[in-house]
Chains A and B, each alone.
Chain A
Amino acid sequence: MSSHSESIIREPLITGKDITYAQITNDVLRPVENMPGRAWWIGFVVACLGACLWLFAVSWTFWYGIGSWGLNKTVGWAWDITGFVWWVGIGHAGTLISAILLLFRQNWRNSINRSAEAMTIFAVICAASYIVCHMGRPWMFIYSLPLPNQYGSLWVNFNSPLIWDVFAISTYFSVSLVFWYTGLLPDLATIRDRAAGLRRRIYSVLSFGWTGSVKTWQRFETVCLILAGISTPLVLSVHTIVSMDFATSLEPGWHTTIFPPYFVAGAIFSGFAMVQTLLLVTRKVLGLENYITMFHIEAMNKIILLTGSIVGVAYITEFFIAYYSGGEYERYTFLNRFIGPYWWAGCMMYGCNVLMTQLMWFKKIRTNIPISWVLSIVVNIGMWFERFVIIVTSLHRDFVPSSWAMFYPTWVDVSIFIGSIGLFFTLFLLFIRVLPSIAMAEVKLILKSSSEQAKKKLMEHEQLNEEQVEYYKESLTKFDSIEAVG
């Protein structure tokens, strides 16, 4: 397997002149084994301030109740559920990369899956915090579990999508955590075997005594494959069920059968945008340009383009069906997205998600790092507005005009949202400080087949099709980690 060489026309997944197995370990563990640089500290302090704001605003909510939010009797779901769906959606890319791309044998996932999966876990933590906040009295969470209680027992209602969601999100979180941690074991063992003293003790406990013997690896691969196999339908089910929270209601704008696939595509879309936002900075700050290459960036941009277009088709379908249904309320809801008081939110949604991502058709834009980074943030903003439009714009003008209302967020709403971003980045920055941000074992696996030096060796020692070699050299020009092609 390791001696298998790949076709020359495939672009390299690891660049750099003399990358060895030891070099991979050194490069990936540099931030873990050394004191972090100034960029990390600045980011960490800012993120921590955000997390403190989150803590304060959440405590405020628990103390005074959700009356401190801007909700009213018409708009009963607003920034909280918007934030919840936004974060859950962001989480989806991690599982897509670690599970679906594993099943499809996409080797480029090997250097981004670890950090994307960590992102999944942190995003789901942020999402779950919104649900707990929205309960107002968080200890009442116990009644969403199928446990005996003093009321009869009054059981949970398994006919309700909200209960399905409790099961979906908790399963998703715990299975992602298990998948991520199992994958971390070999890399934790690497840190352990290089460390001394207290560090060694800590990583020794964390690594579960991993040795890398044949039987361990054999079972490990079986476990990873089966986990990927079950995580794939799981991740699709999670956002399907989230969309059913809306779709099974009778609310115009929510009551549509297109929601499950539309939400799943949107989730992958926003998740990849967040991965892009994080990794473009991480690769620069941690000096991982040789592992997270231009190929990875472009591949992710292509997925953003694809899923963004699927989302665009879903938008158009929604409008057409609203018109074609002939339903007065349904038609009004969709018209209201453009001509109602929330027209600006609608413009943000359609503009950021559909118009801006269409720029990705151009290779110059896909391979331009600053533009890609800005576009990834544009997508994140657009996807937040998508949920805002679906939730608030649909709710604020219901069947009875006398109850029409607007939603105005209070400082608590805003603080919980900004704070949750701070919480997310705090967790992510701690992660890249104490755990390897790239799955070393998996990158080592492709070193002999897909690295730039392996390709170079192939060109020197094998008879290759001249045209294919030219094509390969041409493809290298876009890489920022390769200087000049000889």
Chain B
Amino acid sequence: MSKTKYILGLFADPDEMMHGIDKLQQNSIPIYDVYTPMPIHGIDHKLGLKDSRLGYAAFMFGCLGGSTIFSMAYYMLVRDWPMDIGGKPSFAIPDFVPITFEWTVLFTAFGMVATFFYATHLFPGRAPRVMELRATDDRFVIAIDAKGNVPHEDITKILKDAGAVEVKHNDRKYVSYE
């Protein structure tokens, strides 16, 4: 039995890689993941990934930020210590607009980015789970789980035919681990 865990198809060109994905899918070979040095539009739909829902999170955080500071201002300047400034009303809504806006933006940004990091498991010091070191440089990598897949030579051949410059049979998942 072969020790290969993952088969990686390394492409030098994003269009050829897209072609590779099509070819693999035509042959019903499941793709584990794709690693690219830049965002390639359209792969997510090819691989059947759902659209990101981070926009909803951003909206919620924005609402939270805006209502937090508005309630704070209301409590501080209207309930707790109303000041008589030339007889004008203490509940001066137009004056609260700038701060409400700022905190809406602040909470949206931090909340959304924190959600992104949480959902994608990104945090300082996380051990990078890298399958191919050049995937952040100039290689577009399709990773295929070798276990239970059709003969490895066939996969190699499909990748090569699609234009892969190199096909790797790795016996461990992450090359970044020492």
Contact = CB atoms under 8 A, between A and B. Distances in A.
8 contacts: A3-B14, A25-B137, A25-B138, A158-B73, A168-B102, A190-B37, A222-B52, A231-B105
A204 B128 contact: yes
Interface string B77-101: 1001101010000001001101101
A285 B83 CA distance: 58
A210 B137 CA distance: 13
Given A222-B54, A223-B113, A233-B101, A175 B39 contact: no
Q: How large is the interface on A (under 10, 10 to 19, 20 to 34, 35 or more residues)?
A: 35 or more
Given A25-B137, A212-B35, A441-B38, A226 B54 contact: yes
A155 interface: yes
A237 B15 CA distance: 42
Interface of A: 1-3, 20-22, 25, 146, 152-159, 161, 163-164, 167-168, 171, 174-175, 178-179, 182, 185-186, 189-190, 192-194, 204-223, 226-227, 230-231, 233-234, 237, 241, 440-442, 444-445, 448
A220 B81 contact: no
B38 A444 contact: yes
A218 B96 contact: no
Nearest to B15: A3
A219 B96 CA distance: 33
A231 to B, nearest CB: 8
Interface centre among B110, B121, B138 (most CB of A within 10 A): B138
Interface centre among A185, A194, A234 (most CB of B within 10 A): A234
Contact of A445 (B39, B110, B119): B39
A213 B34 contact: yes
B37 A186 contact: yes
A154 B81 contact: yes
A185 B136 CA distance: 11
Interface residues of B, number: 68
B137 A22 contact: yes
B135 interface: yes
A325 to B, nearest CB: 24
Contacts of B62: 230
Contacts of A3: 14-15
Contact of B123 (A209, A215, A222): A209
A226 B81 contact: no
Contacts of B105: 171, 175, 230-231, 233-234
B55 to A, nearest CB: 6
A220 B39 contact: yes
B6 interface: no
Given A158-B73, A217-B36, A219-B116, 11 more contacts: A2-B14, A146-B72, A159-B92, A167-B98, A189-B136, A209-B127, A210-B122, A215-B120, A218-B52, A231-B105, A444-B38
B129 A230 contact: no
Given A193-B134, A219-B116, A209 B128 contact: yes
Nearest to A441: B38
Contact of B38 (A153, A164, A445): A445
A350 B41 CA distance: 48
A226 B35 contact: no
A211 B40 contact: no
B99 to A, nearest CB: 5
Contacts of A158: 73, 76-77, 95-96, 99
B124 A186 contact: no
Given A167-B98, A212-B36, A190 B137 contact: yes
A174 B39 CA distance: 25
Interface centre among B40, B122, B131, B134 (most CB of A within 10 A): B122
B92 to A, nearest CB: 6
Interface string B112-150: 110011011111111111110111111000000000000
Nearest to A167: B102
Interface string B132-174: 0111111000000000000000000000000000000000000
Contacts of A167: 98-99, 102-103
A2 B134 contact: no
B58 interface: yes
Given A171-B102, A211-B135, A212-B136, A178 B96 contact: no
Given A155-B77, A190-B136, A218 B49 contact: yes
Contacts of A233: 101, 105
